[in-house]
Amino acid sequence: MSFEAIRIDKDDAGYRAGYAVIDDADLMPGDVDIDVTHSTINYKDGLAITGKGPVVRRFPMIPGVDFAGRVTRSTHKDFAPGDLVVAGGCGLGEAHFGGLAQRARVSGDWLVPLPPGLSPAQAMAIGTAGLTAMFCVLALERFGMTPERGPMVVTGATGGVGSVAVALLARRGWRVAAVTGRPEEADYLKSLGADEIIDRAELAEPGKPLQSQRFAAAVDTVGSVTLANVLARTQFDGAVAACGNARGMDLPTSVAPFILRGVTLLGVESVRPRPTLRRDAWARLARDLDKQALSRMSETIPFSEALERAKKIVEGQVRGRIVVAIG
């Protein structure tokens, strides 16, 4: 059986991405086959499709770190034909064919049953970005952070992770300060629950290792100087969940926030399978995330527009979440 997919190639002719017809026999190994109904465009997908980041680790590759769909074949004990499932991370779109295709074959250990109360399209409006945001919330909660401790700051707030983080934290009772370089999106962020909008320029230049204490906790999606400034402004015994590197992989800070204020930096990653954690996080997302807020932060596009939108997300021209209706 053949199906349509986006395929990335790298050879003597160069690096290129385009639509292609793939045969089932060319799918990579896995014990579950899925008819994909929806996928997403993440920042990582944009880097993979444009070649502007070293995301893809083998060629050819089908990009797409997320997908939702219906099982058509399974030898995995937890899944049967007809089950609706969600997948994200786990090397999809990097080392294993991903979700920007009409069909997928993966390990059942990478799948989560579609949570009750979510449609496949809503699950993809959440996607790995939303799952990462929930991982950040769970990390902060495990550390003991509560809204009573003080305000929360979210960097990169108009992005996929940031938008979901703002909505989740506001719903949990946090006073959220949203950092963005797009002041025209202030109304959008406030509609998600943000109490304050901070211009990203305020955190963009190198500052002192210790600055005025402003935040009890933070979710950082940016890294580099921005994360250093967030750490410098975190209160005594506060915590920062770091999950992104949109500005860079470096961290130009000192030990001062850690040894003089007791600040804790919590690393959050969303690639490894960890089925129990993923199921718990998806259950919380289905329960805690305001569906109206989810609708405000997401847009659905046809599969035919995925390549063009991938270019725009790398250029910073996309807010929130982009759902791709594979169909």
pLDDT value of residue 258 = 98
User: Tens digit of pLDDT for each residue in 223-245?
Assistant: 999 999 999 999 999 999 999 99
Does the structural domain 2-114+297-325 have CATH classification 3.90.1150.10? no
pLDDT value of residue 317 = 85
Same fold, 2-114+297-325 and 128-267: no
pLDDT-flagged residues of the chain (< 70):
none
pLDDT value of residue 318 = 86
Does the structural domain 128-267 have CATH classification 3.40.50.720? yes
Tokens of 325: 């209706």
Tokens of 258: 């850690």
pTM over 0.95: no
Question: What are the domain boundaries of the chain?
Answer: 2-114+297-325, 128-267
pLDDT value of residue 316 = 82
pLDDT value of residue 118 = 96
pLDDT value of residue 45 = 96
